[in-house]
Amino acid sequence: MLNVERWTLRVAVLVLPVWFLGSCQKHDVPLTIDPNGAVEVVLPEHGVYTGAYVDFGDEEDDVSLETIEEFEEMVGKHQAIIASSSYWGEQSFPTANLNLIWRHGSLPLLFWSPWDKPYDQHRGPDKFSLKNILAGQWDSYIDNWADAARAFGHPFIVVFGVEMNGDWFPWSGIYYGGNQRDAEHNNWKGPETFRQAYRYVVNRVRARGANNVQWMFHTNNYSYPNDKWNLAAAYYPGSDYVDWLGLSVYGQQFKDEPWANVQSLAEWPYQEMCRLDPRKPIMIAEWAAGEFPDSGNKAEWIKEALDLFPRYPRIKGAVYWHERWQNADDSYSNLRVNSSIESLKAFREGVASPGWIGNLILRPVAAKNSPTSQQAEGRDKAPNPKQQAPENPQISTSKK
């Protein structure tokens, strides 16, 4: 088990170049960062944080230290970001999971999904529908969740309503009027309903003082249906409500899907994200490909991805979706990095590059308006939305 003292020393080595950037003062004694104190996560000036979702069960919330450590030992690198889920059907905040991830020295990435049991795709809205959320029916749950998030106290990233531009989740715009016009908001009804619900939830969480939450607007790389009304811009809640821009970039997931190279899956979606806001950091919040004997070369696909993502200057994190599941036809979709010896070798060699950062860079949060706080202002960090003004190719659907 990785204890706090060991992690503090590891983080301190990384934080020094960022914390003292631009200062002529020399320090002979390394600065020690206490991860249990008031800290913020610094965006790397160069390189990309590496992360993973590590097959945490059907509800994606069975997080264990053994599972994380086994994955890290297998790939040869500590993971700066660990992803898991918090479904509304569970009606609870995953305090234990987030504490485990943070104490391990990783940033929690949490998919907060307004979804009721059974968690089946393509069945339309349930009792956690966007309209019910906007009507205030779930205010008590949101407030309690926010209070627990505030009590957790450490930084973490929340995705509300992941991949809303697909048609597989019940918060998709296709279930809320799709391409019908909303004249009042000069938008399409489906995306506008999601946008209003996203803002509503963020506003309630912020009102409870959960300022340690950073919000990610996370789309599938290509919209499905791939029509103008369903593009990311129609769903975007505005830069005041977003800290990170996120993308899912999946290769082939099912045996009957076509194979596609990584650049064709990432290039246009990356540009689409950049057009939403000129400054927000971008994360490939889910990426993976299956292993299919009669299809493309997964090892080469992984190598291409690990070479390509750091070339995009706005990408600051990438989370591999390490999972395997059985399909209705009894076939398997094996997205795990160790689906073959060759795929694991490609992943290990790729993330061994210094451009892939496995340890978080932390910085202490100084008191507001203090000299230290003023000096730190303007340096690269995951941005605070309250300090900023608002502002056809192949479809690859998500597995979830």
pLDDT digits (tens, 9 = 90+) for 12-58: 334 433 333 333 334 334 457 888 899 999 999 999 999 999 999 99
The 8-class DSSP code of residue 367 comes to: P
The reported pLDDT for the residue numbered 8 is 35
The reported pLDDT for the residue numbered 195 is 98
- Alpha carbon separation from 346 to 75, 226, 230, 290, 350 (Å, rounded): 10, 32, 35, 14, 6
* Pairwise CA distance, residues 364 & 262, whole Å: 37
- Tell the residue number behind the tokens 């790397």, with chain if given: 44
Could you give the percent of the chain with pLDDT greater than 90?
81
Q: What is the pLDDT of residues 45-100, one digit of tens each?
A: 999 999 999 999 999 999 999 999 999 999 999 999 999 999 999 999 999 999 99
Q: What is the pLDDT of residues 165-204, one digit of tens each?
A: 999 999 999 999 999 999 999 999 999 999 999 999 999 9
pLDDT higher at 385 or 355: 355
* Pairwise CA distance, residues 60 & 53, whole Å: 9
The average pLDDT across 359-372 equals 72
pLDDT higher at 383 or 261: 261
The reported pLDDT for the residue numbered 5 is 30
pLDDT higher at 306 or 384: 306
The reported pLDDT for the residue numbered 64 is 98
- Kindly tell me if the per-residue pLDDT of 391 is higher than 50: no
- Tell the residue number behind the tokens 């992941």, with chain if given: 162
Q: What is the pLDDT of residues 93-147, one digit of tens each?
A: 999 999 999 999 999 999 999 999 999 999 999 999 999 999 999 999 999 999 9
- Kindly tell me if the per-residue pLDDT of 269 is higher than 70: yes
The reported pLDDT for the residue numbered 367 is 52
- Kindly tell me if the per-residue pLDDT of 340 is higher than 60: yes
The reported pLDDT for the residue numbered 78 is 98
Provide the mean pLDDT of the chain: 88
The reported pLDDT for the residue numbered 120 is 93
Q: What is the pLDDT of residues 201-219, one digit of tens each?
A: 999 999 999 999 999 999 9
pTM for the complete prediction?
0.86
The reported pLDDT for the residue numbered 31 is 56
Could you give the percent of the chain with pLDDT greater than 70?
84
- Kindly tell me if the per-residue pLDDT of 221 is higher than 80: yes
The reported pLDDT for the residue numbered 368 is 52
